[in-house]
Structure 1
Amino acid sequence: MKIKKVTISRENLELTRPYTIAYDTFTHAENLFVLLETDTGLVGIGAGSPAEDVTNESIDACEKVLKEQACLLFEGLDLVDAVSRLKTMETKMAATPAAMAAMDIALYDLMGKALDRPLVEILGRVHTAMPTSITIGIKSLDEMLAEADEYTGRGFRILKIKIGMDVDQDIERVCRLRVHISKDVRIRVDANQGYDMDQYKKFLAGTSEANLEFVEQPLHVDQTASMAGLSEDERNFSMADECLHNPADAYALLHPPRPFGSFNIKLMKCGGIALGLEIAQIARRCGIGVMWGCMDESRVSIAAALHAAFASPATRYLDLDGSLDLARDMVDEGFVIENGVMRLTDRSGIGVRILH
């Protein structure tokens, strides 16, 4: 089976609900799509959603490298040889991990289709179902509570609250939310690097009775070393996100005293399924729990992340809501969400169906 054609396309996917985090407001998501067509009629699909503020890659740079390298590296290759080119991509596309993720996902999708098996079964299934959080951006207290009511009304039992712009307001919002919702609804928060150390300690003290799950990336990546000033419990309560891109970062974050007790793996940060699972394996060997997260992404890459998550024993949490607020997408299927619980379908590959 040979790859006879590589197609790259770019789509601007509007959000139905714009949202704000500590450093930006988002109204749409530009995604890149890769189609790998074979001489047997099978088509593998991948998608990438660059986050320039996180990985310093632009959508233009990702599109350029895909158009320059994808055809050169993969057209005309047998599928077996193409899979081995994933390692070549780590060099050729190192500066554009979202572009690398799009190719990686397309190849894994094609591999699953060639074997007529869901990808998770090829990788080695560990999990069958797991709840995901759903995210509420930074907004007024009343708006936050109304959105929380909407999501819990739809069956979601884990809310992720964006914080990091005003620590006093954050404490008030989180504490009010805890009182407002049912005790069986979990709350996790994401500061997106918005705090300094004093603000983070103030937030931890002010929300100590709110029964939070964890805090994602409280400090700027440049301040990771200062996490040593926290207690072991406080560091274990904190999760690495923006400071964790690749396996080398994962190893660096293991040096004692470990600054974080858990890792957030995103395919768009690390370059796809292969490297995501490598980070998860590092975490597993060192007793670090993993959450699989996302940007604003097509259902393509969300499904791919879920296959990887369900194939890793280190997986403890999901935060894979990135396609839920897209006004349109290029695919459907891939996974189902019922009362906030995610499951994969039994379709081959990553399970998505291309819409025409």
Structure 2
Amino acid sequence: MGKIKTVKFKLNTFEYEKPFHITGSVSDKVNNVEVIIELENGILGYGEASPSFRVNGERFETLLSLEPIVNEMIKGKEVRNYRQIFDIIDRFFSFPSIKAAVQYAVLDAFSEEIGIPVYQLLGGSEEKIETDKTIGISSLDERILDAKKFFEEGFRTIKIKVGEDLKEDIEAIEAIYEITKGAKYIVDANMGYTPKQAVTFVNEIYKKGIDIHVFEQPVQRYDIEGLKFVRFKSPFPVSADESARTKHDVMRLIKEEAIDYVNIKLMKSGISDALSIVEIVKAANLRLMIGCMGESSLGINQSVHFALGTGAFDFHDLDSSLMLKEKEFRGKYKIQKPYYVAI
């Protein structure tokens, strides 16, 4: 039977192909924690935590220190009873990325044990999904070069980071639009605007005849009134990201009528809360996208299988591994740009 024998944590560091700049943050590398669950029958399951101090207040050093605690809590548990294990791991609400990694590693081990892919365990709704590609904050020339490159590679959903300079952001959107007509755009301010700046931004873009499919996290995470203000003034759908970490956050956002979309990230919520958020948002007749932090292909694999399994998402922002220097691809899916295909 598939009882958990041991849980091991391993630190993996990955460099970005080039520095990744979003509002208030520039990263040249990520420190991710690989989780390996070994069953008594020798089967292994893998997950990955990509901690974010900016979003979750997590540091990789703290996550690594949790290894003996996790072992103590789930050693000897049957992976086929994964919801029981999820309930135990839900106690790590202050460490959502490690919660996601452990929960996924349990599913991965169970998947290997019974010979069914994780996405089918989660419902098997889709056989492939389409990811976007992200343009970080940089000079106008660099943004244009990136947009041209991504469009030529076949990406038809382009995510554009804004939030540090309103005038430059508007110029960048207009320039990118001119060379990528036919693409869909997700614009992410990462909490960089005031509510009034956000409304000015979307109105200026709308006047230029440019359509934004999702306007993501325009204001500070705790400014729910500000988010609602933008939503009711915006001609484009507004999404919460940093404001929507847990299922409780999402319920409040819906109650306050502050959003059109929720961006689920497994690194913010774990698998268990993410499953709840899908049902909560669907029940409210709102929309979903799925995003990522700094996961490698091992971590992106988790979100790919979650998205394929649930079939819940209009947009998939799962491109972090495409930005990293990796020696080995570790996803249980195929890349056929811009698609991720089940195997």
Letter of the structure 2 residue corresponding to residue 180 of structure 1: I
Distance 1:16 1:32 in 2: 20
Q: How has the CA–CA distance of structure 1 residues 149 and 81 changed in structure 2, closer, same or farther, with 3 Å as cutoff? A: same
Match of 1:348 in 2: none
Distance 1:194 1:112 in 2: 41
Q: Check whether the contact 1:262–1:291 (CA below 8 A) recurs between aligned residues.
A: yes
Letter of the structure 1 residue corresponding to residue 211 of structure 2: N
Could you tell me the TM-score, scaled by structure 1's length?
A: 0.91
Where structure 1 has 5 or more consecutive residues not aligned to the other structure, the ranges are: 346-356
CA deviations 1:52-108 (Å, max 9, x no partner) are: 11011111221112x1322101223333456512111111x1111111111011001
* 1:335 and 2:333 aligned: yes
Aligned pairs for 1:1-356 (under 5 A) are 1-65=2-66, 67-81=67-81, 83-91=83-91, 93-181=92-180, 183-208=181-206, 209-230=209-230, 232=232, 234=234, 237-256=237-256, 258-271=257-270, 273-328=271-326, 331-345=329-343
CA deviations 1:147-172 (Å, max 9, x no partner) are: 11111121111111100000111001
Q: Check whether the contact 1:236–1:262 (CA below 8 A) recurs between aligned residues.
A: no
Aligned length, in residue pairs: 340
Letter of the structure 2 residue corresponding to residue 43 of structure 1: L
Q: How has the CA–CA distance of structure 1 residues 231 and 50 changed in structure 2, closer, same or farther, with 3 Å as cutoff? A: closer
Q: Check whether the contact 2:155–2:338 (CA below 8 A) recurs between aligned residues.
A: yes
**Identity over aligned pairs, percent:** 27
Deviation of residue 302 (structure 1)?
0.9
> Any idea what SS the aligned residue of 1:315 has?
coil
Distance 1:131 1:85 in 2: 31
Letter of the structure 1 residue corresponding to residue 128 of structure 2: A
> Any idea what SS the aligned residue of 1:244 has?
coil
> Any idea what SS the aligned residue of 2:322 has?
coil
CA deviations 1:329-353 (Å, max 9, x no partner) are: 56524222223122121xxxxxxxx
Superposed CA RMSD in Å reads 1.7
The list of structure 1 runs, each at least 4 consecutive aligned residues, that deviate by more than 3 angstroms after superposition, is 80-83, 230-233
Q: How has the CA–CA distance of structure 1 residues 231 and 9 changed in structure 2, closer, same or farther, with 3 Å as cutoff? A: closer
Distance 1:254 1:333 in 2: 34
> Any idea what SS the aligned residue of 1:41 has?
coil
Distance 2:112 2:223 in 1: 44
Letter of the structure 2 residue corresponding to residue 131 of structure 1: E
Q: Check whether the contact 1:292–1:309 (CA below 8 A) recurs between aligned residues.
A: yes
Letter of the structure 2 residue corresponding to residue 261 of structure 1: D
Letter of the structure 2 residue corresponding to residue 217 of structure 1: Q
Letter of the structure 2 residue corresponding to residue 38 of structure 1: L
Q: How has the CA–CA distance of structure 1 residues 36 and 228 changed in structure 2, closer, same or farther, with 3 Å as cutoff? A: closer
Distance 1:17 1:191 in 2: 20
Distance 2:234 2:222 in 1: 19
Match of 1:350 in 2: none
Q: Check whether the contact 2:240–2:261 (CA below 8 A) recurs between aligned residues.
A: yes
Distance 1:228 1:131 in 2: 29
Where structure 2 has 5 or more consecutive residues not aligned to the other structure, the ranges are: none
Q: Check whether the contact 1:227–1:235 (CA below 8 A) recurs between aligned residues.
A: no
> Any idea what SS the aligned residue of 1:33 has?
strand
> Any idea what SS the aligned residue of 1:220 has?
coil
Q: Check whether the contact 2:202–2:235 (CA below 8 A) recurs between aligned residues.
A: no
Q: How has the CA–CA distance of structure 1 residues 89 and 34 changed in structure 2, closer, same or farther, with 3 Å as cutoff? A: same
Q: How has the CA–CA distance of structure 1 residues 330 and 267 changed in structure 2, closer, same or farther, with 3 Å as cutoff? A: farther
CA deviations 1:209-233 (Å, max 9, x no partner) are: 2111111100001222123334637
Distance 1:26 1:228 in 2: 30
Deviation of residue 311 (structure 1)?
2.3
> Any idea what SS the aligned residue of 1:332 has?
coil
Q: How has the CA–CA distance of structure 1 residues 172 and 197 changed in structure 2, closer, same or farther, with 3 Å as cutoff? A: same
Name which of structure 1's ranges 231-240 and 30-39 shifts more when overlaid on structure 2: 231-240
Distance 2:176 2:79 in 1: 51
Match of 1:351 in 2: none
Distance 2:304 2:244 in 1: 19
Match of 1:349 in 2: none
Q: How has the CA–CA distance of structure 1 residues 76 and 200 changed in structure 2, closer, same or farther, with 3 Å as cutoff? A: same
Q: Check whether the contact 2:203–2:235 (CA below 8 A) recurs between aligned residues.
A: no
Match of 1:352 in 2: none
Distance 1:228 1:240 in 2: 10
